[in-house]
């Protein structure tokens, strides 16, 4: 890469956009090798096209070699800018297609983990209706922590998300979707797994090593965790399940998610009549968003499943 300051980028061509899409896939896959199957081209071709993009922009975007793949500071900034550019292009395409009242384009959804085991299946049913109306719609689901879902909707990378309903963020609209109940669990190998109910006093429960979530929750639910002796943390419910299943921690899980292990005899709910909390989940969209026929059709289908 030349040290000479490059000329300003005069225009963004179709070729540049294609290279940026490849760059996005490489970043999201975590490297060239992992991106091969996603892009359907070989590693050497990916490397060449990344070199073309770096030459085009006059910037070093990533480090690659034996130490592994890593973005440079400029690469991280280009990635964020490219996400905004590609989202704007998709919004334009969706709006133009909407003029024909034919569903085409993408629906980018961000979900909190482990909603698929909810018995209501409202999201699944709404997606089925959307595909029935618009067979050409491309659905992209991202499973990320709630804060990242909300940020993705705010900056336009996501059209809609589903998150626990806590304090509303400015610029976002929330619509109630689900209510789920979480119970306090321990696993086989934990001292309380075979304890009689009479032995499960609150002081004894509160002295056990427990897991705290790092995602936002309403204050009344946070109180349930503050009563426990939390010595570990997890960014999502799957992480909490991993730790509970070690047999060394107790922790809260949604009952629909824990059912599989309960039926296997691997998890046990502790004092389920009193040690529980109910959490509301909501869809989140951006306030003042532009018309987006695919998104509106999905939200209509979601409302029709209630």
Tokens of 143: 């499973």
pTM over 0.75: no
Q: pLDDT tens digits for 163-221? A: 888 878 889 999 998 888 999 999 999 999 999 888 899 999 999 999 999 888 888 99
Q: What is the CATH number of the domain that holds 22?
A: 1.10.10.10
Mean pLDDT estimate for the chain: 88
For residue 258, being part of any structural domain is answered with yes
Q: How many CA atoms lie within 13 A of 175 on its CB side?
A: 11
What does the alpha-carbon distance between residue 149 and residue 34 come to, in Å, rounded to a whole number?
24
Please compute the mean of the pLDDT values over residues 295-305 and round it to a whole number.
Answer: 90
Q: Are residues 52 and 33 in the same domain?
A: yes
Report the range of poorest mean pLDDT among 6-10, 37-41, 54-58, 79-83: 6-10
pLDDT for the residue numbered 3:
45
Q: Are residues 266 and 226 in the same domain?
A: yes
Tell me, what's the pLDDT at 112? 81
Write down the pLDDT at residue 30: 87
- Answer yes or no: is 168 within a domain: yes
Domain identity same for 36 and 65: yes
Give the pLDDT of residue 165.
Answer: 84
Look up the CATH number of the domain holding residue 151: 3.40.190.10
Q: Helices 32-39 and 43-57, interaxial angle, to 10°?
A: 100
Burial of 40 (0-12, 13-18, 19+ CB in 10 A): exposed
Q: What is the pLDDT of residue 7?
A: 64
195, 188 Cβ separation under 8 angstroms: no
% of the chain at pLDDT higher than 70:
92
The verdict on 79 and 222 lying in the same domain is no
Note the pLDDT tens digit of each residue in 112-133: 876 776 767 888 999 999 999 8
Mean pLDDT lowest among 22-36, 106-120, 147-161, 189-203: 106-120
| Confidence (pLDDT) at 281 | 87
Q: What is the pLDDT of residue 76?
A: 92
Total tally of structural domains belonging to the chain? 3
289 and 143 together in one domain: yes
Residues 219 and 253 in one domain: yes
Which pLDDT does position 1 carry in this prediction? 47
pLDDT at 39 over 80: yes
Task: Please report the pLDDT score of residue 159 as a whole number.
Answer: 95
Which residues form the domain of 139? 90-173+284-304
Q: At 263, which CATH number?
A: 3.40.190.290
Is 9 part of any domain?
A: no
DSSP string, the chain: --SSPPPP-----HHHHHHHHHHHHHHHHTSHHHHHHHHTS-HHHHHHHHHHHHHHHTS--EE-STT--EE-HHHHHHHHHHHHHHHHHHHHHHHHHHHTT---SEEEEEE-SS-TT-TT-HHHHHHHHHHHH-TTPEEEEEE--HHHHHHHHHTTS-SEEEEE--SPPTTEEEEEEEEEEEEEEEETTSTTTT--GGG--HHHHHTSEEEEE-S---HHHHHHHHTSEEEEEESSHHHHHHHHTTTS-BEEEEHHHHHHHHHTTSEEESSTTTSEEEEEEEEEEETTPPP-HHHHHHHHHHHHT-
Kindly state the average pLDDT of the residues 89-118. 77
Interval 227-269: pLDDT, tens = 999 999 998 888 999 999 999 999 999 999 999 999 999 999 9
Triad 192, 195, 200: Cα angle to 5°: 75
Phi, psi for 229 (deg, rounded to 5): -95, 80
In the prediction, which pLDDT does 5 show?
A: 46
């Amino acid at each position: 890469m030349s040290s000479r300051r490059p000329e300003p980028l005069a225009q963004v061509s179709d070729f540049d956009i294609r290279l940026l899409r490849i760059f996005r896939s490489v970043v999201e896959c975590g490297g060239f090798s992992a991106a091969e199957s996603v892009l359907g081209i070989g590693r050497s071709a990916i490397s060449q096209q990344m070199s073309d993009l770096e030459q085009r922009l006059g910037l070093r975007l990533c480090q690659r070699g034996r130490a592994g793949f890593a973005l440079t500071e400029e690469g991280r900034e280009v990635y964020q800018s490219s996400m905004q550019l590609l989202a704007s292009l998709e919004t334009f395409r969706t709006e133009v297609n909407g003029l024909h009242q034919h569903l085409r384009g993408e629906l980018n959804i961000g979900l909190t983990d482990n909603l698929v085991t909810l018995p209501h299946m409202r999201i699944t049913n709404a997606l089925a209706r959307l595909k029935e109306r618009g067979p050409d719609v491309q659905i992209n689901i991202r499973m990320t922590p709630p804060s990242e879902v909300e940020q993705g909707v705010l900056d336009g990378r996501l059209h809609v998300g589903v998150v626990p309903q806590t304090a509303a963020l400015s610029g976002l609209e929330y619509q109630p979707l689900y209510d789920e109940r979480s119970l306090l669990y321990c696993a086989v190998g934990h001292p309380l797994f075979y304890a009689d109910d009479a032995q499960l006093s609150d002081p004894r429960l509160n002295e056990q090593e427990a897991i705290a979530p790092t995602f936002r929750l309403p204050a009344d639910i946070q109180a349930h965790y503050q009563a426990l002796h939390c010595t570990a943390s997890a960014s999502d419910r799957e992480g909490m399940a991993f730790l509970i299943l070690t047999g060394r921690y107790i922790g809260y899980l949604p009952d629909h998610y824990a059912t599989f292990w309960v039926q296997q005899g691997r998890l046990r709910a502790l004092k389920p009549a009193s040690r529980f909390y109910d959490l509301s989940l909501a869809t989140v969209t951006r306030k003042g968003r532009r018309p987006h026929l695919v998104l509106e059709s999905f939200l209509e289908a979601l409302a029709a499943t209630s």
